[in-house]
Amino acid sequence: MLKKIVFLTGTRADFGKIKALIQKLESHPNYEPFLFVTGMHLLETYGYTLLEVQRCNFKNLATFSNHTHETTMDLTLAKTMEGFSAYIKEVAPDLIVVHGDRVEALAGASVGALNNILVAHIEGGEVSGTIDELIRHATSKMSHIHFVSNTKAKTRLEQMGELPESIFVIGSPDVDIMFSENLPKLEEVKAHYEIPFEEYAVAMFHPVTTEVANMEAYATEFVTALLQSSKNYVVIYPNNDLGSKAILKAYEKLKGNPNIRVFPSVRFEYFLTLLKNASFIVGNSSAGIREAPYYGIPTINIGTRQQNRSLHEHIVNVNYEANEIINAMLQIERGVPEDMASYGVGNSSELFMANLEEGSIWNINHQKLFRDY
């Protein structure tokens, strides 16, 4: 019997993680994947990345705007649940798949659990900073099935009372793409985005919701560091969490600078090519913690947003002061790529499919049980 599987995406980042999984299912006769697109994808300010999703030509694609004028996460959560609830009642899926630590993922998991539909959470059991960690763990508790990156994440979920037989280690799906032979060439990426620099760094700075009162000052220091360093930068807009407006306001000072190219968004594969060839990455994006070390790219990690995440010798942690950020730029040097084995070997989509085909996940109890650790 054909299984219907709904994926939910709210950002350019989580779409990059799940795209290979959807493509795998689309070519399989036993599954019918559906994609619910919401969040930043539908915002013009952040590049309207729905276009990137549409380029994949998925058969079943639906959109829903969860934007609220107040842009607070609780209202976004509520509106996403309302829209997704209506959608899953129309589709009647056998499984809902969500990823990571965004409010859209929590909305999807909550709707599934409350409607007695199996929910699978990708990359649960990991640690991160600020409110994101709470959202990730809450999403895991609302999910029945866990596709995790490594055994450390599996252990954390078991500590949270999740059943071992519901946790499957498949690696991180973005590794499938990171080391793909199909990534675009740097020349192609530079031509597409009109990037004239021979050498450049990537800059990405996201709001920290628990420090929103200070975001204007933090963003000003970040922009000051970029301008005073006199290096070339590819700057990519932040996510749309509370505090993003302060960052975008600070970015106004970057416009017209010949050393800086600013983009609302960059296609995931194109971004990986840019990162792979950058001198370094600066800011507080998870790309600096997760992807950059495995390309051997140094990271200047600013502030608390990535606190407690896995650290590597290529990462220099600094506070928000411009002088400290600039000083860190003098210390870094490109290193040897890290061993990627801790996040898989590029076969996450195959392992994902194998677990669906093996069949035991379809028999997992919809009524969740707690396992004492």
CATH of the domain at 113: 3.40.50.2000
Residue 369 lies in a domain: no
Residue 372 lies in a domain: no
Q: What is the pLDDT at residue 340?
A: 59
Residue 195 lies in a domain: yes
Q: What is the pLDDT at residue 336?
A: 62
pLDDT at 343 over 80: no
This prediction's pTM: 0.91
Rounded average pLDDT over 230-259: 95
Q: Are residues 161 and 15 in the same domain?
A: yes
Q: Are residues 193 and 249 in the same domain?
A: yes
For residue 302, what is the enclosing H or E element? strand 299-302
Residues 214/243, Cβ–Cβ less than 8 Å: no
Residue 373 lies in a domain: no
Q: Are residues 56 and 129 in the same domain?
A: yes
Q: Are residues 83 and 192 in the same domain?
A: no
Q: Are residues 139 and 209 in the same domain?
A: no
Residue 339 lies in a domain: no
Residue 340 lies in a domain: no
Q: What is the pLDDT at residue 311?
A: 66
CA 7 and chain centroid, separation: 14
In eight-state DSSP terms, residue 184 is: P
Indicate the pLDDT class of residue 51, thresholds 50, 70 and 90.
very high
Domain range for 46 is: 3-176+346-363
Residues 159/174, Cβ–Cβ less than 8 Å: no
Q: Are residues 12 and 159 in the same domain?
A: yes
Nearest to 177 by CA among 97, 50, 47, 267: 267
Q: How many domains is the chain partitioned into structurally?
A: 2
Q: Are residues 172 and 221 in the same domain?
A: no
Neighbours of 248 (CB within 10 A): 17
Sign of CA dihedral 157, 159, 164, 169: positive
User: Which residue blocks in the chain are alpha helix, DSSP H?
Assistant: 12-26, 50-54, 73-91, 103-114, 130-141, 151-159, 173-178, 186-193, 215-229, 244-251, 268-276, 286-289, 292-295, 322-329, 348-358
Share of the chain above pLDDT 70, in %: 96
Q: Are residues 32 and 55 in the same domain?
A: yes
Alpha-carbon dihedral of residues 109, 73, 169, 297, nearest 10 degrees? 160
pLDDT at 246 over 90: yes
Nearest to 289 by CA among 128, 146, 151: 128
Q: Are residues 359 and 293 in the same domain?
A: no
Using one digit for the tens of pLDDT, what is the confidence trace for 71-119?
Answer: 688 999 999 999 999 999 999 999 999 999 999 999 999 999 999 999 9
- Coil/strand/helix, residue 212: helix
Indicate the pLDDT class of residue 270, thresholds 50, 70 and 90.
very high
Residue 166 lies in a domain: yes
Residue 156 lies in a domain: yes
Q: What is the mean pLDDT of the chain?
A: 93
Indicate the pLDDT class of residue 339, thresholds 50, 70 and 90.
low
pLDDT at 345 over 80: no
Cα separation values, 247 from 29, 40, 244, 267, 337, Å:
46, 16, 5, 21, 31
Q: Are residues 150 and 98 in the same domain?
A: yes
Q: Are residues 114 and 47 in the same domain?
A: yes
Q: Are residues 281 and 148 in the same domain?
A: no
Rounded average pLDDT over 179-199: 95
Nearest to 138 by CA among 82, 167, 100: 100
